Amino acid sequence: NAGVTQTPKFRILKIGQSMTLQCTQDMNHNYMYWYRQDPGMGLKLIYYSVGAGITDKGEVPNGYNVSRSTTEDFPLRLELAAPSQTSVYFCASSYRDRGDKYGYTFGSGTRLTVV
């Protein structure tokens, strides 16, 4: 049981380049999330998904896109990288049990630098 797997762990991009951050979970969780964490700041929600085919914007979605074609995968796309997107990106998934309680699992993060 690998949990939430993110790739790559590190990446350096040039301004204007594009890339996809990969996220896969093997826990059959319906809910998945992308957060970014800047130094000294809390995690900010970029996008989330409540199930395959359904995505919605979070607090800081500008400059990013997502898709959710399967339950397991939730890739995050950066189309035109900007220095402001230098951050650590965390993917998470969660379940919702019969008692309406949630449990969240986070990946180990992708450290992205845009130069």
Partner 1 sequence: EDQVTQSPEALRLQEGESSSLNCSYTVSGLRGLFWYRQDPGKGPEFLFTLYSAGEEKEKERLKATLTKKESFLHITAPKPEDSATYLCAVQASQGGSEKLVFGKGTKLTVNP
Q: Which two tokens stand for residue 78?
A: 């950066």
The conformational region for residue 28 under phi > 0 = left, psi -120 to 50 = alpha, else beta, is left
**Range 60-89, binding partner 1 (CB under 8 A):** none
The window from 11-19, 32-40, 67-75, 76-84 that contacts partner 1 (CB under 8 A) reads: 32-40
- The answer to whether 33 contacts partner 1 (rule: CB under 8 A) is yes
CB of 80 to partner 1, least distance (A): 26
Contact between 43 and partner 1 by CB under 8 A: the answer reads yes
CA gap 75, 26 in Å, rounded? 15
Closer residue to partner 1 (CB): 82 or 104: 104
Q: Is 103 in the site for partner 1 (CB under 8 A)?
A: yes
Separation CA 55–CA 81 (nearest Å): 21
d(CA 101, CA 71): 20
